[in-house]
Structure 1
Amino acid sequence: MHAFGADFAAPSGYLNTPSMGIPPAPVAAAVAESVENWRTGASRPGDFDEYVARSRAGFARLLGVEAGRVAIGASVSQVIANVAAALPERTRVLTAEGDFTSVTFPFAACGHHVTEVPLDELAGRVEGHDVVAVSVVQSADGRIADLPALRAAAEAAGAAVLLDATQAAGWLPLQLAWADWVVAAGYKWLLAPRGSAWLAVRPDAQDRTRAVAANWYAGEDPWATVYGLPLRLAGDARAFDLSPVWLAQVGAAAALEYLGGLDLAQVRAHNVGLADTLLEKLGLPPRGSAIVSLEADPDRVAAAGIVSGLRNGKVRVGFHLYNTADDVERVLHAFE
């Protein structure tokens, strides 16, 4: 199908973007070409620096920050480890109850005191905590954090804020330059291959972040830091770079440039319009999110031709660029 200026091969009924996004044709073609170059010995390691720079810049644009504030990585938990490992012992971390464990586990594994509270109470419970770590959009059910309230509460309490934008970036317009750290994985709403992730670091938070996987690519000039000491990391957020997953960065560069050319307000209107239409037709109140969690028989949903996720015992569906009203009707059919 053709949608938002690109061709997609997503089958009808594919509503599993919160688990894995479907790339537009140019993204898949870029990765396929890179695989062919690899297969035929036409690739050189330095060729991929261009793609890393493009994906870094593309992620920065989506958040409204400078590219020098963005580090590349491979997964959300891996990039968050740079934050969790740098915090003083037994730091008091506040998070949302039931948030994705890639957000919370790095802090718990470092021995910090992590407190979970209901998402709608988060802003009101910031006082007494050092760091707030939360997903912008909850993975399990699509609830959206009240970022203005959280920002105000964190500033009043002097708490740092880490946001996971994995389930938000790509459909929800974001301006997150105010957060100390913002992370996201690329293989869901950003339509990139798995193995691409990013960490945006506010300049005054860089000294509160540790390069736990310091490596040659994190050097000021990566090709000059391949051998030998002393430690010489980049002066900006590239100090936290992981050596890139090449094919993932090729796809991410193309995907983020494509998304960066869209009006995300229109994308949100499209996605949320479908999700809220589904809820309305089921007699449920709108939620204003692209992700919907439903009490439904997963076998009946699958029999209706719907590809979905199962989270916390509920069927989870997500609407993105390639979904249409026909997908809403397929879900409704499972409830007949």
Structure 2
Amino acid sequence: MDATLWDASPGWLNTASYGLPPRRAFEALQAMLSDWRVGRTSWEGWDGSTGRARDAYARLIGVAPADVCVGAQVSQVLAPVAVALAGRRFLVPEEEFTSNLFPWLVAGEVRTAPAAALAERVDRSVDAVAFSLVQSATGAVADYAGVVAAARAHGALVIVDATQACGWLPFDGMLADVVVTGGYKWLMAPRGAAFAYLAPSLRERMTPYAAGWYAGEDVHASYYGPPLRLAADARRFDISPSWPAYVGAAPALELVEELGVAAIGAHDVALANRFLAGLDRPPGDSAIVTVDVPGAEERLSRAGIRAAVRAGRVRASFHAYTTEADVDAALNALTS
């Protein structure tokens, strides 16, 4: 993996918190900000990046762009799904990140289960299974195919949060009814870009209560006055995008495509396993690992290593810009 495509300072092992922008994404954003500062151009050029990012996301997860809406955050793009499923019964992992939990707690009845046992807990009492493809807290990779098979066998919907997976873990978005992704982690976009695949069969049950001009069939003919004229596809659930976020998102997602998700994943997991081996831990299958190391926070901070540390438990995450030198520096800090 060519680390020179980024300007990462040594020691960043925290992509699970936020990803670092590729140089081309950062430069695109700086050019946009320069134009905005002096009023050099109109907004239409910036908005072209929204369509590019939508298309790239659709290709990355194997769905049609017409089935993808754009938004700002995961919980926001999930809101119309929650409204459509109000009063239903949801099954969610016990440690699920709350952006994919609170909407269901608001909407209906929630039952939790250990993430590893999710598939076996699906039964006829479950209307929808909502889970992260990769768990934020532990890095555990879900049994995607197993959960989908169990849900389909019992007539349940499948709602997937791919925020900690999309960009390093290949998966088929078409298996689910909903796939949501915050773009600012493994897709390395600015915060404020989020995407959702919404299966057509589910969209028929959803109402775009947040519809504005950008949800129109022709956005340039949707500025003023009735009648209602929304897009016929998933764009009716778009919110007006933050242009800086999408100007940075488009080149970042396109670079992920160029490098290949499988190649990025192989790189990331190899570095994660190098880190685990250095701590005498068995290898895993995730780009996110958590380990208990006494005094970890002070040791890492002293060495200039940036990773998430909670009560002595290290959560380290490795991505395309991470190098073996980064891993070895962290190991030296934790074992010396």
Q: Same fold (TM over 0.5)?
A: yes
Alignment CA distance shift 1:19-1:56 (3 Å):
same
1:135-284 equivalence runs, <5 A: 135-284=132-281
**What TM-score, normalized to structure 1?**
0.95
1:67 maps to which residue? 65
Residues 3-42 of structure 1 mapped to structure 2, 5 A cutoff = 3-4=1-2, 7-42=5-40
Amino acid at match of 1:60: A
CA contact (8 A) 1:123 1:150 kept: yes
What whole-Å deviation, never above 9, does each CA across 1:201-243 have from its counterpart, x for those lacking one? 1111111333231111011111211122232211100010010
Q: Which residue of 1 aligns with 2:111?
A: 115
Q: Give the Cα–Cα distance (whole angstroms) in 1 for the partners of residues 76 and 310 of structure 2.
A: 23
In the TM superposition, residue 47 of structure 1 has moved relative to its aligned partner by 2.1
Cα deviation, residue 310, structure 1 = 3.0
Of 89, 93, 98, the match for 1:96:
93
CA deviation vs aligned residue, 1:160-214 (integer Å, no higher than 9, x gap): 0110110001111121112100000111110100000001111111113332311
| Secondary structure class of the residue paired with 1:184 | strand
Partners in 2 of 1:204 and 1:310 — Cα distance?
42
**Following the alignment from structure 1 to structure 2, what is the Cα–Cα distance between the partners of residues 36 and 254?**
18
Aligned to 2:335: 335
CA distance in 2, matches of 1:312, 1:92: 34
Could you tell which deviates more after superposition, 305-314 or 174-183? 305-314
Q: Which amino acid aligns with 1:204?
A: S
Distance in structure 2 (CA, Å) of the matches to 1:187 and 1:316: 18
Unmatched runs of 5 consecutive residues or more in structure 2: none
Cα pair 2:308 2:315 within 8 Å, conserved: yes
Supply the distance in 1 between the matched residues of 2:327 and 2:250 (Cα, whole angstroms).
Answer: 31
C-alpha RMSD of the superposition: 1.4
Query: Against the structure 1 CA distance between its residues 264 and 214, is the aligned structure 2 distance closer, same or farther, given a 3 Å change threshold?
Result: same
Farther off after superposition, 43-52 or 283-292: 43-52
**How big is the shift at 1:311?**
4.7
Alpha-carbon distance change, 313 to 81 in structure 1, aligned in 2, over 3 angstroms: farther
Q: Does structure 2 conserve the Cα–Cα contact (< 8 Å) formed by 1:142 and 1:289?
A: yes
For these two proteins, the number of residue pairs brought into alignment is: 332
Deviates more, 1:295-304 or 1:117-126: 295-304
The one-letter amino acid paired with 1:301 is: L
Structure 2 letter corresponding to 1:7: L
Q: What's the CA shift string for 1:52-80, capped at 9, x where partnerless?
A: 11000010011000110100000011001
Checking the alignment, whether the CA contact within 8 Å between 2:67 and 2:198 is kept in structure 1 is yes
8 Å contact 2:3–2:322 — kept in the other structure?
no
1:25 deviates by 0.7
Residues in 1 aligned to 2:249 and 2:231: alpha-carbon distance in whole angstroms: 22
Q: Deviations over 1:3-36 (max 9, x none)?
A: 4385211111111111111111111000000000
On the 8 A contact 1:85/1:212 being kept in 2, the answer is no
The residue type paired with residue 121 of structure 1 is: A
Deviations 1:262-294 (A, max 9, x none): 222211111000101211221112121000112
C-alpha distance in 2 between matches for 1:137 and 1:147:
10
Q: Is the 8 A contact 2:161 2:180 kept in 1?
A: yes
Structure 1 residues 226 and 287, CA gap change in structure 2 (3 angstroms): same
The 1:218–1:312 alpha-carbon spacing in structure 2 relative to 1, beyond 3 Å, is farther
SS where residue 208 of structure 1 aligns?
coil
Shift of 1:116: 1.3
The answer for unaligned runs of 5 or more in structure 1 is: none
Residue type at the aligned position of 2:234: A
Secondary structure of the residue that 2:140 maps to in structure 1?
coil
How far the C-alpha of 1:335 sits from its partner, in A, is 2.6
Partner residue in 1 for 2:79: 81
The residue type paired with residue 257 of structure 1 is E
Q: What amino acid does structure 1 have at the position aligned with 2:120?
A: G
Rounded Cα–Cα distance in structure 2 between residues aligned with 1:212 and 1:298: 45
Amino-acid identity (%): 46
